Amino acid sequence: MIGSVIGLGGGVLLTPILTLFLGVPIKYATGASAISTIATSCSAASVYVKNGLANARIGMVIELSTIIGAVIGALTAHYVYSSGLTWLMYIVFGFMSLISMILTV
């Protein structure tokens, strides 16, 4: 229950087990973790819908936004890594983390 409250999914356990103990390459382990998370989320969502606790319209808007963001993120990551601009991403994410830290204090 604590894991669900703080956002720890099965990937926290699945990925290290696959990589460290079973020798699965990290890119396949993270993919398997994503599939596991999707399956778990879908089953939980179906229970919420069945019990009338979910708003389908809001869910569709959130899902569409997630898909668009994932595609943009994947394309950006590919461009950044292929052009050697990883240092720029470190600066951007470091700055964002610093701002977030300042705003929460």
Does the structure show a pLDDT above 90 at 10?
Answer: no
- What whole-number distance in Å separates Cα of residue 15 and Cα of residue 59? 28
Does the structure show a pLDDT above 80 at 61?
Answer: yes
Percent of the chain with pLDDT over 70: 90
33 touches 60 (CB < 8 A)? no
What's the number of domains the chain is made of? 2
37 touches 9 (CB < 8 A)? yes
Average pLDDT over residues 26-43: 85
Does the structure show a pLDDT above 80 at 59?
Answer: yes
Residue 14 lies in a domain: yes
Average pLDDT over residues 33-62: 87
Q: Say if residue 105 is exposed, middle or buried (CB neighbours under 10 Å; 0-12, 13-18, 19+).
A: exposed
Residue 60 lies in a domain: no
Q: How confident is the model at residue 12 (pLDDT cuts 50, 70, 90)?
A: confident
- The rounded Cα 83 to chain-centroid distance in angstroms is 24
Contacts of 45 (CB under 8 A, 6+ apart): 54, 59
Average pLDDT over residues 18-26: 91
Owning domain of residue 75: 69-105
